[in-house]
Structure 1
Amino acid sequence: MSIKYYLDQGVENSLFQKQMSFEQDWGLIQNWSDQVYLPFQVRPTGEIYDPTAYMSRINIGQFILSRFTYGIPVEISKFSENCSRVLLLTTIHGHARHKIDKTRSIITGLNQSYIMDSSYPDDYAFLCSEDNIQLNLSIPKHALQELTIANFGHDAPLSLWQSRSRFDGDQASWMALLHYVYHCLKEIPEQALALKAGQHLQQMMGLHIINAWARRENIDLNQPIDVAPHHIKRAVEYIYANYQYSPTIVEIAQAVGVSIRTLSSTFKRHQQMTVGQMLRKVRLEQVRARLLAADAASNVMDIAYACGYINLGDFAKQYKQKYGELPSTTIKRN
Structure 2
Amino acid sequence: MVALDPFAVGRPPAAERRTSEDWSEIQLWSDRMYMPYVVRPLGVGLSPRSSMYSTKIGDITVTRFSYGIPVSVGDFSSDAGNALVLTTIRGNARHHLDHDATADTPSGDTFVADCSRVDYLVEFSPDHVQLNLTVPHTLLADTAVRWWGFDPGDVLWQRKCVIGGGGSGWQALLGYAMRTTGELPGHATEGRIGLNLQELLVGHLLTEWAARAGVDPDRSTGPAAPGYVRHAVQYIREYARELPTSSDIADAVGVSVRTLSGSFRKYLDTTPAEYVREQRLQGIREELLTASPGATVASIAGAWGYVNLGLFAAAYRRRFGENPSQTRAFGPVSG
TM-score by length of 1: 0.69
Offset at residue 296 of structure 1 (A): 11
The whole-number CA distance in structure 2 between the counterparts of 1:143 and 1:149 is 10
Alignment of 1:67-82 (within 5 A): 67-82=64-79
Q: Which residue of 1 aligns with 2:95?
A: 98
Residue in structure 1 matching 2:41, options 19, 44, 50: 44
Which residue is equivalent to 1:258? none
Q: 1:209 aligns with which of 205, 208, 213?
A: 205
Aligned to 1:22, the other structure's residue is in SS state: strand
- Aligned to 2:151, the other structure's residue is in SS state coil
- What SS does the corresponding residue of 2:47 show, helix, strand or coil? coil
Q: Do 1:60 and 1:199's aligned partners in 2 also have CA atoms closer than 8 Å?
A: yes
Alpha-carbon distance between aligned partners in 2 of 1:206 and 1:327, rounded to the nearest angstrom: 28
Residues 119-167 of structure 1, C-alpha deviations (whole Å, 9 max, x = no match):
1233x21101110000011111111222221122222232011100011
Aligned match of 2:23 = 26
Question: Tell me, which stretches of 5 or more residues in structure 1 are unaligned?
Answer: 1-9, 229-240, 242-266, 274-278, 308-314
In 1, Cα distance between the equivalents of 2:325 and 2:133?
A: 29
In structure 1, distance between residues paired with 2:46 and 2:328: 37
Q: Which residue of 2 aligns with 1:143?
A: 139
- Counterpart of 1:46 in 2: which secondary structure? coil
Change (3 A) 1:287 1:152: closer
Q: 1:299 to 1:195 in 2, by over 3 A?
A: closer
Q: Classify 1:28/1:12 alpha carbon distance in 2 versus 1 (closer, same or farther; 3 Å).
A: same
Asked whether the 8 Å contact 1:16–1:56 carries over to 2, the reply is: no
The answer to whether the aligner puts 1:108 opposite 2:108 as a matched pair is no
State the AA in 2 paired with 1:293. G
Local SS of the residue matching 1:156 = coil
The sequence identity of aligned pairs, in percent, is 30
Which ranges of 4 or more aligned residues in structure 1 deviate by more than 6 Å?
A: 279-291, 294-297, 330-333
How far is 1:221 from its partner? 0.7
Pick closer, same or farther for the CA change 1:114–1:39 going to 2, 3 Å.
same
- Stretches of structure 2 that go unaligned for 5 or more consecutive residues are 225-244, 246-264, 285-296
Instruction: Summarize deviations over 1:27-75 as a string: whole Å, max 9, x none.
Output: 1111111111111001111234211100101101111111000001111
Distance in 2 (CA, whole Å) between partners of 1:198 and 1:299 is 30
Does structure 2 conserve the Cα–Cα contact (< 8 Å) formed by 1:84 and 1:118?
Answer: yes
1:293 corresponds in structure 2 to: 302
1:199–1:73 distance in 2 versus 1, CA, 3 Å:
same
Tell me, in whole angstroms, the C-alpha distance in 2 between the residues paired with 1:56 and 1:304. 28
Max radius of gyration: which structure?
1
- Find out whether 1:158 has 2:158 as its counterpart: no
How many residues align structurally?
270
| 2:37–2:77 contact (8 Å) kept in structure 1 | yes
User: 1:135 is paired with a residue of what secondary structure?
Assistant: strand
DSSP-derived class of the 1:72 partner: coil
CA distance in structure 2 between the partners assigned to 1:142 and 1:209 by the alignment: 14
- Name the counterpart of 1:170: 166
Check whether the contact 1:65–1:137 (CA below 8 A) recurs between aligned residues: yes
CA distance in 2, matches of 1:11, 1:281: 34
The alpha-carbon deviation at position 188 of structure 1 amounts to 2.0
1:81-109 superposed Cα distances (whole Å, 9 cap, x missing partner): 10111211000100011001231111110
Structure 1 partner of 2:180: 184
> Which amino acid is 2:164 matched to?
D
CA distance in 2, matches of 1:272, 1:53: 39
Query: Could you say if the C-alpha distance between residues 330 and 320 of structure 1 is closer, same or farther in structure 2, counting changes exceeding 3 Å?
Result: same
Q: For residues 178 and 49 of structure 1, do their structure 2 counterparts lie closer, same or farther at Cα, with a shift above 3 Å needed?
A: same
Partners of 1:188 and 1:17 in 2: CA distance: 7
